[in-house]
Amino acid sequence: MIKGYDTYKQNNTMGMSQLELILTVYRGTIRLLKQAKADFEEEKYAEGRTSCDKARKCIVHLYTTLDMEKGEDIAEKLGQLYAFMIEQVDMAVASKSLDLIDTVIGLLSTIKEGWEGLNEQGIEKSTPAVRSNQPDSYSVSGPIKKMAEEKTTMKPGLTISA
């Protein structure tokens, strides 16, 4: 039965536009973080950690699909935000901090609203910050690599401007 469901999910996503796929990842990530928050509130720490780990993987996926060449400054700023969010999720798991989870949910929700605005306007071609044909593996480069090398941290309140 699982194989049939996996086939259904694959066929369902194959019919989605690039923008719809992006929104699906955002919605899923937010859902996972809300579940993690609920788990931490109920002191189900293992389940909360699992949900945070899945959300973290989604955020890493969002980063690895950025097209730094075409997306230029916007892709770089999104990369910095994703790096900040990954750090916050890691810290939330370590400290079981609901505030850190809320911070990431807020950032993801705000960015998702921007993507939804593009989707409502029918602006599919306005996603140069995201690669459409991703390879099976990625190398980390750009802002995340630089931040890792310099061991710098993002400051809350970072804003994106076009």
Would 55 be classed as within a structural domain? yes
Would 78 be classed as within a structural domain? yes
Would 126 be classed as within a structural domain? yes
Q: How many domains does the chain have?
A: 1
Would 159 be classed as within a structural domain? no
Q: Comparing 50 with 147, which gets the higher pLDDT?
A: 50
Would 60 be classed as within a structural domain? yes
In tens, the pLDDT along 31-54 reads 999 999 999 999 999 999 999 999
pTM of the predicted model over 0.85: no
CA distance 40 to 97: 8
Would 160 be classed as within a structural domain? no
Would 8 be classed as within a structural domain? no
Query: Confidence class of residue 117 from pLDDT cuts 50, 70 and 90?
Result: confident
Whether the pLDDT of residue 140 is over 90: the answer is no
In tens, the pLDDT along 59-84 reads 999 999 898 888 888 889 999 999 99
- The confidence score (pLDDT) of residue 37 equals 97
- The confidence score (pLDDT) of residue 13 equals 59
Domain range for 106 is 16-150
Helix ranges, 15-97 (H): 18-41, 45-64, 68-95
Whether the pLDDT of residue 138 is over 90: the answer is no
The CATH code of the domain that includes 109 is 1.20.120.340
Would 3 be classed as within a structural domain? no
Q: Comparing 90 with 150, which gets the higher pLDDT?
A: 90
CA distance 96 to 78: 25
Those residues with Cβ within 8 angstroms of residue 118's Cβ, 6 or more apart along the chain or in another chain: 19, 124, 126, 127
